[in-house]
Amino acid sequence: WTERQNVVKSVFNQSWQAYKRDAWGFDIYHPVSHTGENMGPEPLGWIIVDALDTLAVMNLTEEVSLATKWIEQELDYNMDYEVNLFETTIRMLGGLLGGYYLTGQPSLLTKAVDLADRLVDGNVFDTPSGLPMATVNLRTGQGRKSHTDFGSSSTAEVATLQLEFRYLSKLTGNDKYKLAVDHIMTVLESQNRLNPEREGLVPIFIDVDKGQYRGQNIRLGSRGDSYYEYLLKQYLQTNCTESFYKTMYDESVRGIQNHLLGHTAISHNLYLGERPHGIKGELSNKMDHLVCFMGGLLALGATEGRSLAEARTDSNFWTLSKEVEIEIAEKLTQTCVKMYENTGSGLAPEIAFFNDDNDTGKPLCGVSALRQFDLQRFGYDCLKDDLYIKPADAHNLQRPETVESLFVLWRITGKDIYREWGWEIFTRFREWTEVKGDETFDINGFTSLQDVNSVPPKQRDNMESFWLAETLKYFYLLFEEDETAKDAVDLKKIVFNTEAHILP
Ligand code: DMJ
């Protein structure tokens, strides 16, 4: 495992060195064309800040110094530019705080405070409900509601600021950050009480004027995902003392069990679908790769970061429902691994659709009595597989969610299979996402893919910052053997924010 971990480190280092050579300081990196761009008039640190605590975890000390120096000398958030409050919080504020937590470098905290003040001191929270608008101008503090979605904010976006702002209040002694985000949770909790039939599941949009959910669409993929994640993690962050959040989390787990799970037709794999028309509407068989964080979260929620063996022996703590949560966590993660195994490249698509054993009405290929001719005549095709991928969803953005769950499940269950699966997936990333072929460059970057089913998959020209912040960090931690290093990221002592930044 140590050898494998070294390979992960070398892939990280390669990605980082290629970025340094081609696009140092830029927010967006195009590894195929060897260019960079900024999102606004000046750099936001999108890649450097997001990568900082991974550099620290991998003990790349010279690179940590270089990145920190860039943050101190080049990064100036005083710019007339509107940023997304959620993305800036999870990636930039989270990155600075994770970097500060691991290195103790005071300038990172100073920069975090400067950024957070720009986010909260203006009027982004000045809505009738106190729920924040979607974007904020870094110089003027002017907030703005989303120009789409009828001005609503995404549920995940308003409910995924809390770990970062609460930690900052703890560090600075200034309550203003915590108060702003705690208020959001109070509003959301009262919405749950008004709608008990949803059992803790929530629509993906919220009207920031009324403080009420908008529409009926319920999903744990985009716009919904980290709402559920931060319910549990806020509870873990303060050493399991605030039951308010755990109660909300537990209710949502019941909702997931009762309303969102399905089984596939052939292998009876468990998948987690969507309710686009509300809790009483039909279960859709769509599952975003983003949902794959859920296996890890359920396991973390069941043991609260302890190993399964330890948690099970605590009779005051362990219950049958926790056992069920572990079972669901393991099965969902296996389904996510299948999303990789079922493609030509061995890498998962952005979205998969699962053939549910209840609703396909189609015969299985090869076992059907109907001949191919009849199948076509009756508008049937037969079921070859448990999942299918629509062409528009076949890309791969180097996302972390499955490896995140593999890491958490490895830590909690101690089963080697999670590391084996992780190694297989990592090998595929290495094989297909490295930018090869131009002899002028001695170091190749890594990039996103257009279609995971074509072999070799066509490459896109973009490296997502979470490749460095999350995906490679979780691979690296999955293969960790050294006990002291493991202890530094003990799930009983730290929480990963939703961008994998490490906070106590
Ligand atoms: C990351 O920015 C975060 O994990 C976020 O919560 C969801 N999506 C991406 C990675 O896929």
Local structure of 271: helix, strand or coil: strand
Neighbours of 401 (CB within 10 A): 26
Instruction: Identify the pLDDT of residue 363.
Output: 66
Q: From the CA of 206, how far away is ligand 1's center (Å)? A: 20
What is the rounded end-to-end Cα distance, in angstroms, of the chain?
27
Closest CA to 218 of 199, 241, 233: 199
Mean pLDDT by 10 residues, the chain (504 residues): 98 98 98 98 98 98 98 98 98 98 98 98 98 98 92 96 98 98 98 97 97 97 98 98 98 98 92 97 96 98 98 98 98 98 96 83 58 51 80 97 98 98 98 92 96 96 98 98 96 98 98
Instruction: Identify the pLDDT of residue 440.
Output: 87
Instruction: Identify the pLDDT of residue 379.
Output: 54
Instruction: Identify the pLDDT of residue 439.
Output: 83
Substitution site in 46, 90, 92 for ligand 1 pocket (most atoms within 8 Å of beta carbon): 90
What's the CA dihedral at 193, 198, 199, 201 to 10 degrees? -100
Q: Strand pairing of 387-388 and 495-496? A: unpaired
CB 343 within 8 A of CB 453: yes
Instruction: Identify the pLDDT of residue 438.
Output: 81
Q: From the CA of 346, how far away is ligand 1's center (Å)? A: 21
d(CA 19, CA 396): 20
Substitution site in 85, 154, 464, 470 for ligand 1 pocket (most atoms within 8 Å of beta carbon): 470
Instruction: Identify the pLDDT of residue 365.
Output: 63
Shortest-distance atom of ligand 1 to CA 160: 6
Instruction: Identify the pLDDT of residue 265.
Output: 87
Take atom 1 of ligand 1 and give the residue whose Cα is closest.
499
Domains defined for the chain, CATH in brackets: 77-259 (1.50.10.10)
Residues 6+ apart with CB under 8 A from 87: none
Query: Measured from the CB, is residue 399 less than 6 Å from ligand 1?
Result: yes
The side-by-side arrangement of strands in the sheet containing 387-388 is: 286-288, 351-354, 387-388
